[in-house]
Amino acid sequence: MRANTAILYFLVVAALAGFLVPAARAQKVSGLDRDRALQMLDEVAKDVRKHYYDPKFHGVDWDAKVAEARNKIKNETSLNLALAHIAAALISLDDSHTFFLPPPRPYRHDYGLQTQMVGDHCYVSRVRPGSDAEARGVKPGDEVLAVEGYPPTRQTLWKLDYRFRLLRPQADLQMALRDPAGGERQVVVKAKIVNLKRVLNWTLSDGGSDVWDTLREQEGASHRLRIRYNSLGDKLLVAKLPVFFFDQAEVDALLDQARKHQALILDLRGNPGGAIDTLKFLVGGFFENEVQIGKRVGRKELKPEAAKSRGRGIFTGKLIVLVDSASGSCAELFARLVQLEKRGQVIGDRSAGSVMEARHYGHEAGVDTVVFYGASITESDLIMSDGKSLEHSGVTPDELLLPTAADLAAGRDPVLASAAGRLGAKLTPEDAGKMFPYEWPPE
């Protein structure tokens, strides 16, 4: 959750629809690539040994895991599979914030759909207009029974996304679906793959075209990750926070808007978290006194995380926080603090249970042509004032309220509509579903 954590990498990757992902095609591994993969394994393994918060690695024999991955890489014939063995070693730690970040590749890759857990069921939540998924009849509200033969669960969905979208994306994806009426079918969705430059020039010798193109891409991603507002008179402000990567000025702007209203809904659904500093800024805007976020447990004694009050600048009106299965990290911590401090209500689905403090350790390989890679490594667990960690458990809402398959299919948002009603505002599920239209990243 540090500002330089690898979560930021994932947010940018998601926002750019897979700009930084391995090639969707199988790549034969050369001797040079195999040596580089072994170097990546050694560097990442060294970082884990040095920085991972639990020196006992949850009972995993880390040296044996690394040796196993090394032997597999030596005999591997595919570059993607060689990188997958590095990823598998880190995944064996069963830690939400510890994972391998493979080298970027010059491909943009998009299956044209998004999935999400709702309760204990996985559904298609969005389908990109004009995509192959849309052409093959995939629709929001379709329940996902299996992806490439693997049934998605709360424990496995992120691993499936990591495998098929970032680590080893494929030219097509086989899915078993069930529509809201109960009909089951098999669908093969073709990914849209756009070839990009294999080598980017960062020297500005060509006028900086690659630099400016990248900056424009990043600006587009930042725009899509902005705080969005919708006011329902002076009674209620709804603010949707897609990430926790905002500075103090942006949080102050949110508080300024909120103080003009009697009540506030903070929509943290789909928010994977981000920087601990943003969490502190936000917490300080809702509590009169300093709030202890949590005790940090790592290899050495660490100061607890705490947030100081903003004093007169805080928002004192009624507060409802919305969460779902994709709310992670700082989003979960904020929701749980609202519960523990009895500051407001939390409504929605049980959150992701992905709450650790991690840091991104980056590396590079090569001389003339450099490839970048790294790992996100957990450096501490957070124990909250109730003596519990949210890792693997998540936040249980004060009221569990879920959209149905029919709601997803029709674009209705009964959760936001219900929250607005509790605060005295009239909002239908249909209008709530249109309040914050989803902005697709470029293909």
| Average pLDDT estimate for 412-433 | 97
Asked if the model's pLDDT at residue 213 lies above 60, the reply is no
| Average pLDDT estimate for 172-195 | 95
The two three-digit tokens of residue 72, written as one number: 């597999």
| Average pLDDT estimate for 210-222 | 57
In a domain, 154, yes or no: yes
Domains of the chain: total:
3
Domain assignment of residue 417, given as a range: 225-355+382-433
In a domain, 370, yes or no: no
Asked if the model's pLDDT at residue 2 lies above 60, the reply is no
In a domain, 66, yes or no: yes
Asked if the model's pLDDT at residue 421 lies above 60, the reply is yes
Both 181 and 237 in one domain: the answer is no
Both 141 and 252 in one domain: the answer is no
pTM: 0.88
In a domain, 202, yes or no: no
What integer pLDDT is reported at residue 20 of this predicted model? 30
Both 410 and 280 in one domain: the answer is yes
Asked if the model's pLDDT at residue 26 lies above 80, the reply is no
In a domain, 373, yes or no: no
Quick one: pLDDT band at residue 13, thresholds 50, 70, 90?
Answer: very low
Both 265 and 347 in one domain: the answer is yes
Both 234 and 329 in one domain: the answer is yes
Both 54 and 120 in one domain: the answer is no
What integer pLDDT is reported at residue 442 of this predicted model? 79
Both 180 and 238 in one domain: the answer is no
Both 131 and 260 in one domain: the answer is no
Which CATH number covers residue 49?
A: 1.20.920.70
Asked if the model's pLDDT at residue 25 lies above 50, the reply is no
Domain boundary among 101, 131, 156: 101
What integer pLDDT is reported at residue 207 of this predicted model? 56
DSSP run (H or E) holding 365: strand 357-365
What integer pLDDT is reported at residue 17 of this predicted model? 28
In a domain, 5, yes or no: no
What integer pLDDT is reported at residue 209 of this predicted model? 59
Mind listing the pLDDT tens digit for each residue in 384-414?
999 999 999 999 999 999 999 999 999 999 9
Both 113 and 185 in one domain: the answer is yes
Asked if the model's pLDDT at residue 202 lies above 60, the reply is no
Which CATH number covers residue 164?
A: 2.30.42.10
In a domain, 422, yes or no: yes
Both 121 and 268 in one domain: the answer is no
Which CATH number covers residue 282?
A: 3.90.226.10
In a domain, 132, yes or no: yes
Both 95 and 236 in one domain: the answer is no
Asked if the model's pLDDT at residue 165 lies above 90, the reply is no
Mind listing the pLDDT tens digit for each residue in 238-267?
999 999 999 999 999 999 999 999 999 999
Domain boundary among 68, 101, 134: 101
Both 156 and 285 in one domain: the answer is no
Mind listing the pLDDT tens digit for each residue in 63-112?
999 999 999 999 998 888 899 999 999 999 999 999 999 987 677 889 99
Asked if the model's pLDDT at residue 276 lies above 50, the reply is yes
